Amino acid sequence: MEINRIGVIGAGQMGNGIAHVMALAGYEVLLNDISQEALDRAVATISRNLDRQVSREKISQEAKDAAMGRISVTKVLADLGPTDLVIEAATERETVKEAIFQDLLPHLAPHTILTSNTSSISITRLASRTDRPEKFMGFHFMNPVPVMQLVELIRGIATDAETFEACRKVVEKLGKSAASAEDFPAFIVNRILMPMINEAVYTLYEGVGSVQSIDLSLKLGANHPMGPLELADFIGLDTCLAIMNVLHDGLADTKYRPCPLLTKYVEAGWLGRKTGRGFYDYRGETPVPTR
């Protein structure tokens, strides 16, 4: 099927990044959020990020202007009904995602493909609560969306071949690479990445190394661009904890038990960069370890 119009639910960091790359690739994008402030902030962020691409000569000013012209916003979820593809990028809570799909279902065109940008929740389970499990799949972008080249495509047990191929073609048009993942907890990237981050938190918790020494060791010793604790702050410690809980609950293996220190930071509201404090304190000129 031909995909021309794309609805994006959620105007946060992931949602505005998805809207950015879709509009730049030539798709008409309708961005939805319950907050007008979030929508205004998302449009400003997209414009600023496109300006950065123009200044680096990645794109032309004309391409930026055309992309911005393809983005519309709405607070009314039903407005997304006539789109060809919906990408849900709301909070990483299953109950929230289910409620969104339930509210949207009565307004959808028969051909509309539903997808979720979830980083860990069962696609099969989400799909089973809709009227079109064969037209439902996981469409997992990496953060930051305009920069990262990978998209995980996750088929639920009922997803048909036509739906998968349509989504694969969208990824191709974006100039990104698709990795096909089976529908098991946390898929590929987070199945490997999150236990590594969790182990880094355990290494800190047990006093094996300091925040700085742990991050330095992985950057210089394993050639990682960011240390695991720095990366956890970038992702959001609440998101890291949520994914570890999905792994622990879904696979019933104690090796996925979230570190108590990670839980403690989340309980404190120290969620990383987005709250100003996590394993580093970002409120000054340069980040300072909090432990």
Binding-site annotation: residue ranges for NAD(+): 10-15, 33, 92, 97, 119, 143, 274
Residue in the block written with tokens 């995602």? 97
Binding residues: 10-15, 33, 92, 97, 119, 143, 274
Q: If DSSP states are collapsed to H, E and C, what string results for 55-87?
A: HCCCCCHHHHHHHHHCEEEECCHHHHCCCCEEE
Of the residues 120, 190, 198, 230, only one is catalytic, namely: 190
* Residue 140 known to be catalytic: yes
81-97 per-residue burial string, b: 16 or more CB within 10 A, e: under 16 = bebbbbbbbbebebeeb
CA–CA dist 224, 184 (Å, integer): 26
**Cβ atoms 239, 274 nearer than 8 A:** no
Choosing from 119, 120, 122, 198, which is the catalytic residue?
119
Report residue 226 CA to chain centroid gap: 18
Catalytic (active site) residue 49: no
Q: In what order do the strands lie in the sheet with 28-32?
A: 71-74, 28-32, 5-9, 85-88, 113-116, 136-141, 150-155, 177-182
Task: Tell me, yes or no, if 152 is annotated catalytic.
Answer: yes
Number of Cβ within 10 Å of residue 206's Cβ equals 10
Q: How many residues does the chain have?
A: 291
Q: Give the active site residue among 32, 120, 122, 152.
A: 152
C-alpha triplet 216, 258, 219: angle, nearest 5°? 15
Active site residues: 119, 140, 152, 190
